[in-house]
């Protein structure tokens, strides 16, 4: 463990369970994920065997209660695991992040007893989940969605499309936000559980992305998909509440992913500057390099403190919206800044795929975009400060 990863105070001090999971996840990432990173990035596809191993370890159902075959862990345990995995591969980090902080959390919080019994054991033991909110004309304006759910006698007919859906290729269970009563505006939005294989459901175009390439990002189409009324997640017309509150928690997960990316790039740079020699000395001996490392380390620790603070507040049942927005905003800035500096420190080698930092750099950019852009986080922070 290098200096910047040491616990420096109560806020970053982990519980015994969190520390055990951190160590187990770190070992798993180094032994099972690291050898596959380059291949998965080049092929833009997650390794199936790796996905199975993650389920076996309980990483895909950390907060799912034991009665539903989950690990019975905490939100902070999810955050710690996401950070550790993202130090090695952010694609795998966001894969488990979406499963835990968005999909599983939504089922745990809003699912009826019947829905929990039906879906949580699947999500904890072998089925991947996806969260479907964004559309071509509905990004930051999340509730401008056009996907509709027409009420029939005993079901809804779902029509429309979703864009930028993470985990779409691997998922079997989808939480889909659609408007069941457009006349009511956002108060008609309802969350539905949709399963792969339902007639009229299809996964369409897979995006060819700059970073997190192994994480699938696809368009999803709905053509008269029949959704049983019992598949409403939460209450009819209250899907906007499901969306808002789930994404608030999800932003802390993205913050953890960004901290992991930054830490992974820093670790690589720290090792490299002690090996690379110029003018007869390791470049780590030059004060200019040392100052850059010091700034990087300080940025990372600051971002980690913000993420952990938001996570602890969430766990304590306190209001955490502002803190989550701050964590997501700042950690994404740090990830971009630190990975860029890591590329600089590697020099020409930082620009080629033989070395890890160019991938960390590419992976970092998405942090300012998904689960709420930087501008949306700043807007949220400002409104809450002035409230």
Is the Cβ–Cβ distance between 303 and 367 less than 8 Å? no
Q: Are strands 232-233 and 171-179 parallel, antiparallel or unpaired?
A: unpaired
Please confirm, yes or no, whether 371 is among the known catalytic residues.
yes
User: What is the C-alpha to C-alpha distance for residues 312 and 76, in angstroms, rounded to an integer?
Assistant: 7
Residue that has been written with the tokens 């200019």 in this structure: 288
Whose CA is closest to 233, among 154, 164, 314, 178?
178
Dihedral sign from CA coordinates of 83, 300, 350, 30: negative
User: What is the C-alpha to C-alpha distance for residues 265 and 350, in angstroms, rounded to an integer?
Assistant: 11
Number of DSSP helices (H) and strands (E) in the chain, helices first: 12, 10
Q: Is 385 helix (H, G, I), strand (E, B) or coil?
A: helix
Dihedral sign from CA coordinates of 369, 370, 373, 377: negative
User: What is the C-alpha to C-alpha distance for residues 98 and 90, in angstroms, rounded to an integer?
Assistant: 12
User: What is the C-alpha to C-alpha distance for residues 182 and 331, in angstroms, rounded to an integer?
Assistant: 36
Q: Which of 83, 249, 358, 371 is catalytic?
A: 371
| Strand intervals (E) in the chain | 128-132, 148-151, 155-166, 171-179, 189-195, 201-206, 217-228, 232-233, 277-278, 281-282
For 317-344, letters b (16+ CB in 10 Å) and e give eeebbbbbbbbbbbbbbbbbbbbbbbbe
CB atoms inside a 10 Å sphere around CB 15: 12
The residues that are catalytic are 371
């Amino acid at each position: 463990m290098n200096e910047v990863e040491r616990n420096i105070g109560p806020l970053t001090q982990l519980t015994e369970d969190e520390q055990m999971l951190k160590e187990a996840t770190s070992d798993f990432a180094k032994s099972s994920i690291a050898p596959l990173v380059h291949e998965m990035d080049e092929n833009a596809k997650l390794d199936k065997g790796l996905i199975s191993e993650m389920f076996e370890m309980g990483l895909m159902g950390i907060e799912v209660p034991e009665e539903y075959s989950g690990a019975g862990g905490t939100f902070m345990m999810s955050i710690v695991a996401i950070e550790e995995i993202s130090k090695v591969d952010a694609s795998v980090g966001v894969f488990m992040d979406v499963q835990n902080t968005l999909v599983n959390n939504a089922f745990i919080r809003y699912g009826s007893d019947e829905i929990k019994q039906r879906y949580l054991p699947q999500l904890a033991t072998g089925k991947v989940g996806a969260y479907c909110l964004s559309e071509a004309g509905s990004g930051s304006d999340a509730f401008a969605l056009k996907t509709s759910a027409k009420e029939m006698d005993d079901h809804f007919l779902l029509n429309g499309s979703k864009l930028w859906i993470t985990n779409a290729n691997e998922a079997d269970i989808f939480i889909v936000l659609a408007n069941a009563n457009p006349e009511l505006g956002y108060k008609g939005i309802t969350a539905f559980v949709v399963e792969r294989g339902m007639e009229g459901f299809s996964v369409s175009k897979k995006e060819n992305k700059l970073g997190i390439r192994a994480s699938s990002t696809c368009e999803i189409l709905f053509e008269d998909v029949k959704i049983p009324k019992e598949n409403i997640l939460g209450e009819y017309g209250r899907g906007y509440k499901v969306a808002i509150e789930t994404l608030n928690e999800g932003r802390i997960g993205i913050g953890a992913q960004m901290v992991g990316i930054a830490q992974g790039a820093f670790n690589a740079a720290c090792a490299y500057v002690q090996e690379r020699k110029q003018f007869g000395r390791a470049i780590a001996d030059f004060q200019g390099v040392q100052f850059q490392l010091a700034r990087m380390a300080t940025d990372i620790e600051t971002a980690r403190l913000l993420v952990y603070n938001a996570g602890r507040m969430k766990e304590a049942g306190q209001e955490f919206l502002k803190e989550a927005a701050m964590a997501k905003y700042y950690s994404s800035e740090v990830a971009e800044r630190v990975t860029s500096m890591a590329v600089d420190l590697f020099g020409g080698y930082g620009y080629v795929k033989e070395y890890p930092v160019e991938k960390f750099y590419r992976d970092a950019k998405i942090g300012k975009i998904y689960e709420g852009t930087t501008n949306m986080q700043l807007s949220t922070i400002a409104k809450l400060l002035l409230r």
